[in-house]
Structure 1
């Protein structure tokens, strides 16, 4: 084996130090990783329920008809659609038979905005039939049109 000269050893040491120095300044340290994720929140429970109303003129007598207006109030934050309406008649006097009345409810499939009142959702006709019986019990009775929606 040959011995390295002092000059040669110094040159190797300087070159090695230079390479380490260059490599040291060019080195970049970092971490790598992978991952996944999601985010979620519950949607609204839906339109909720609305309050339906019917209104018609007072003073209906046997053999007469009157227009009925159906409206809805929506206290919910979101809008909802009122579908098919169904109406029935009730009276305050048991002797004034609900069977003496007919009522219709024409559906309009109307969207009722959130936080709204009095939105028109349908119309119909209330008829006081005139059968061949004494209907005096209805003279002071309150006639109520109940309305529901699906």
Structure 2
């Protein structure tokens, strides 16, 4: 067997580091999920209609969670309106990746959405990806998780 030179040791260490770094990146990308959501709400008190949105950061993995930000757009140029209680449901785009594995909350405090405004924060919530150790959750790798939000 040939003795390793200092140069060969450095090259071997760099190769091992690249392999570990590349493998870690692949694992992260493999579990990366994306998502968002939208909906609308009509104010029965005559305040008009708003468009609601839900957004959270990418990279949700089993046992992890993301903070969800709910925003509203009010296209009415003259009338402000309020967003009361929010409702949120989850769907996924992959068969076998069950929406029940992604519990979501939506909390608001009777938020005012000014006339002719967009992106007004009306609430927050939490989206979890429940880790079920005895259940194969491989179907969720790379899934798109969508939150549909409404207001009562």
Structure-2-length-normalised TM-score: 0.67
- In the TM superposition, 1:35-54 aligns within 5 A as 46-54=46-54
CA shift for structure 1 position 95? 1.3
**The one of 117, 131, 146 aligned to 1:144:** 146
- 1:44-80 superposed Cα distances (whole Å, 9 cap, x missing partner): x822110000000001000001100000000012000
Q: Is contact 1:87-1:145 (8 Å) kept? A: yes
Q: Is contact 1:46-1:78 (8 Å) kept? A: no
Hey, what does 1:99 align to over in structure 2?
Answer: 100
Hey, what does 2:34 align to over in structure 1?
Answer: none
CA RMSD in angstroms comes to: 1.1
Runs of at least 4 residues off by over 3 Å: none
- 1:15-41 superposed Cα distances (whole Å, 9 cap, x missing partner): xxxxxxxxxxxxxxxxxxxxxxxxxxx
- In the TM superposition, 1:63-78 aligns within 5 A as 63-76=63-76, 77-78=78-79
Q: How far, CA to CA, are the matches of 1:94 and 1:73 in structure 2?
A: 32
If you compute each CA radius of gyration, which structure gives the higher value, 1 or 2?
1
Hey, what does 2:39 align to over in structure 1?
Answer: none
Q: Is contact 1:63-1:127 (8 Å) kept? A: yes
Structure-1-length-normalised TM-score: 0.68
- 1:108-149 superposed Cα distances (whole Å, 9 cap, x missing partner): 211100100000000000000011211111111100111110
Match status 1:81 vs 2:88: no
Structure 2, unaligned stretches of length 5 or more? 1-44
SS of 2:103's partner is: strand
- 1:77-109 superposed Cα distances (whole Å, 9 cap, x missing partner): 200000000111110112110011110011121
| Count of residue pairs brought into register by the alignment | 106
Structure 1, unaligned stretches of length 5 or more? 1-44
Q: How far, CA to CA, are the matches of 2:74 and 2:95 in structure 1?
A: 33
